[in-house]
Amino acid sequence: MITIKSPGLKATFAEYGARLVAFEVDGLDVVFGTPFDPDHSKWDNSAGVTCGRHAGRISKGGYTLDGQRVDLVNNKDGFQLHGGPVGFGNHDWANKKKDSQVHFTLTSPDGDQGFPGALKASAIYGLEGNKMWAELTATTTKPTVVNLTNHAYWNLQGPSAGKDDAFKQEVQMHASRYLPVTEQLLPLGDMASVAGTKYDFRKLRPVGQPYDDCFVIDGKRGELKQVLTMRDSKSGRRMEVWTTECAIQFYTALHWSENLPGKGGPLHQHQAIAIEPQNVPDAPNNPNFPSSFVYPGTVYRNRIEWRFT
C-alpha cells in the first residue's frame, strides 16, 4: 500500500489498479469497497480503480474508427465494460511516491483487450490543502479510444454506513441531461432532460433510491468545473467533485452483498456511491456523443478534483 498525506487528509492506494483503497478526512475513512487484505481475488473488481482503457460500456462488441472495424474482448453479454476482462483495474501499475503525490504509469500494448495502439497511461494523484486531485493522461501509437476515470465509492457518513445508507447522502449535480438506456444499461443514443424525473439533482436532495446512470454535465468539456456536491446531513461534511470531462456515471453499489469483504466487515448493498467523472459510455458507437477517439500526437486528459469542507 502507498500512503500520501496533507493536513487533514490521508489517501491510501494499491498498485493493483492504481486503486484508491482508503481516504480519510479528519481521521474518518469515507471510501468503501476494497479491504486491506492483499489477496486481490477477494476485492471488488472495480472499487477505487483507475478505469481504462475505456471506462463504461461499449456496445456491439466493438466500434468503427476511420472506416475500420475494431473488435473488442467482451466481458459482458455482447459488450465490454470498463476496458474488458483484463482492464486497467487488473494490472499492477508502476508507481513512484513524491511528497504528497503518487505517480502511477502503465503501458498497454497494441491489441490489448482488442484496442489498437500501444497506449501509455499516467495517473497522478496528489493532496493539496482540503482537496485530492487526479491528473489522468494517455498517448497512443495508433488511432484508438480512451476514457479514464477513478471508480471510488464514497459515503461521507464514514465507516458506520450500512445497507441503503447511500440513499441518505444528499447530492446536487450540475447536469440538466442524462442518458436513457436499455435493460443492459446501454445508451439508446439520445440525451434526455432531467426535468420532472428522478434524475433531477439540480438542487441538493437525498439520493433516495438506486441509480446506475450517466448524467451529462452542463459546461464546456476540457474546462475544470464543479459538477457534483455530496453532503452528509448528520455531520455536515461536504465533498465537491470537479472535472474537465463531460459526464458522471453515478452508481449506488447495487451488486454489493455480504459475499464481498470490505475494510471493516462485509460490504452492503447501496452502502456507498461510485462517482465516476468521465466521457459518456458507448461514445465510440454514437457519433452524436462527445468523442472518445484519440490519435497519435495528441494527449488524452481528464483532471478530477475532490474538495472537502
Catalogue the active-site residues.
151, 276
Q: How far apart are the first and last CA of the chain?
A: 26
Question: How does DSSP classify residue 113?
Answer: G
Find all residues with CB under 8 Å of 174, minimum gap 6, and list them.
202, 217, 218, 219, 225, 226, 227, 228
CA proximity to 290, closest of 216, 227, 225: 216
H/E element, 236: none
Distance CA 225, CA 307 (A): 12
Question: How does DSSP classify residue 232?
Answer: -
Question: Taking a C-beta distance cutoff of 8 angstroms, is the pair 227, 217 a contact?
Answer: yes
Question: How does DSSP classify residue 93?
Answer: P
H helix and E strand count, the chain = 0, 28
Compute φ and ψ for 71, nearest 5 degrees: -95, 125
